[in-house]
Structure 1
Amino acid sequence: MATAPSRTHRHRHTLIRLIDRHRRVIATLFAAVALLSATLVLRPPPGATTEVLVASRDLDPSRPLGEHDLTRRALPAPLVPSGALTSGTTTAGLLLNAPVRQGEVITDARLSDPPARAYGPDLVAVPVRVADAGAVDLLSPGSRVDVLAATGYGDPHRPRARPAREVAGDRPVLAVPDEDRRGGESGALLVIAATPGEARALAGHAATSRLSITIRG
């Protein structure tokens, strides 16, 4: 009857000796478990993130943004700069106002703001000097005009001027600079939104024709 307690005593003694022999290892394991538990308890939960657009490579401001120039990246909400472009923003065709390095977050401050953009993505701002300064006085930003060019005006070899030709039709006025309104032969300046083709035609007629406008509204 004394055999079972004796065996139990021997097993317990062996276990105590084993623990005593490896007490440093066991203490280290317990310390690691305690540290891990404390870290899991104290670590804050993951914060909210926002997907923003960043440069996928170094970008040159001399050409419009293309489809593969920007990529999406999730950033912690507190680190997102003000005005950052989010992943749903349409950027194709937009222009940068300065070089951008790969990985840089694109904000609205990095984009140029062409004055004609509001009237169409393919329009440009075109200064036009009109002979009749009084007509320009009737305009304001948002007015719509036709620009006409009369060739042969003032040419002594052409006593009868040809009918005026419409160079740009139904174009919005972007600005009427007060400082450049000068009467007389110099005329008055206005800025309209026009296509690149119309801009080239207006530049050509400015040197050889008398430009005038008709006001649509």
Structure 2
Amino acid sequence: MTPSPPPYRHRSGPLRLLDRHRRLVASLLTALAVLCAVLVLRPPPEPVTRVLAAARDLDASAPLSEDDLVPLALAGRAAPDGALSPGDRAAGMSLNAPVRRGEVLTDARLSDPPALPYGADMVAVPVRVADPGMVGLLSPGRRVDVLAAAGAAGADPFGGPTARSGPAVEVVGDRPVLSVPDEEGGGGEGGALVVIAATREEARALAGHAPSSRLSVTIRG
């Protein structure tokens, strides 16, 4: 007796679709395998470093402001050593040479003004104090007033009476001492030198009094 054939089973739709397009599916799988191999063998992307660059051509005549600098993204190896990042303090510092627009700022390009810790508008001002002994009592961080007495005591060159100094006026008040230079010879020209932090206007006032007045200081603390 001849055995009867097995009953016919209908194949599902996805299997019939796969049979119909198996060449296309094989090509896609091959391309996917090649892509995976390329991604595995390709080196990882270089890290990006964010730095500060000049927003325009800058000279060294004025301290830097925040508007003078812009952030710039560079590949890790392209960033120079000592490059400043957006989190670094740069505003208020001074350039030691001009820079071009787009140039990356490094620590070698900047000089730290000695008066900057006391304010962005402060400058270091040398003051020639008439009494060297008073300067010997000063040290960095002490706060002083600078006084100017008009006229200088001494004999009249034409044999007249001795000139008298006028009343002292305060030129600068409550300013910090930055340094007390150790001058060779102990006295410089007519006194001793002390460097204080002051505003630009105060620096001009001190320069105006220096030629014709005796400068002295009082110590606040």
Q: What amino acid does structure 1 have at the position aligned with 2:62? A: R
Question: 2:44 matched to which residue of 1?
Answer: 45
Percent identity for Structure 1 against Structure 2? 66
Equivalent residue for 1:194, pick from 193, 198, 201:
198
In the other structure, the counterpart of 1:112 is 111
Correspondences of 1:73-112 after superposition (within 5 Å): 73-89=72-88, 91-112=90-111
Matched with 1:141 is 140
Structure 1 unaligned regions, length at least 5: 1-31
Q: Which residue pairs with 1:25 in the alignment?
A: none
Q: Assess if the C-alpha contact under 8 Å between 2:144 and 2:174 holds in 1.
A: yes
Aligned to 2:7: none
Per the alignment, in what secondary structure is the counterpart of residue 98 of structure 2? coil
> Which residue, out of 182, 192, 210, partners 1:206?
210
CA distance in structure 1 between the partners assigned to 2:187 and 2:82 by the alignment: 43
Q: Kindly provide the CA deviation profile for residues 49-103 of structure 1, in whole angstroms up to 9, marking residues without a partner as x.
A: 2211112333222233344432212223344333322123454443211121333
Deviation at 1:203, TM superposition (A): 0.8
Q: TM-score, normalised by structure 1?
A: 0.74
Task: Identify unmatched segments of 5+ residues in structure 2.
Answer: 1-30
TM-score by length of 2: 0.72
2:169 partner amino acid = R
Query: Residue 167 and residue 65 in structure 1: after superposition, are their counterparts in 2 closer, same or farther (change >3 A)?
Result: same
Secondary structure in 1 aligned to 2:210? helix
Distance in 2 separating the partners of 1:64 and 1:119: 14
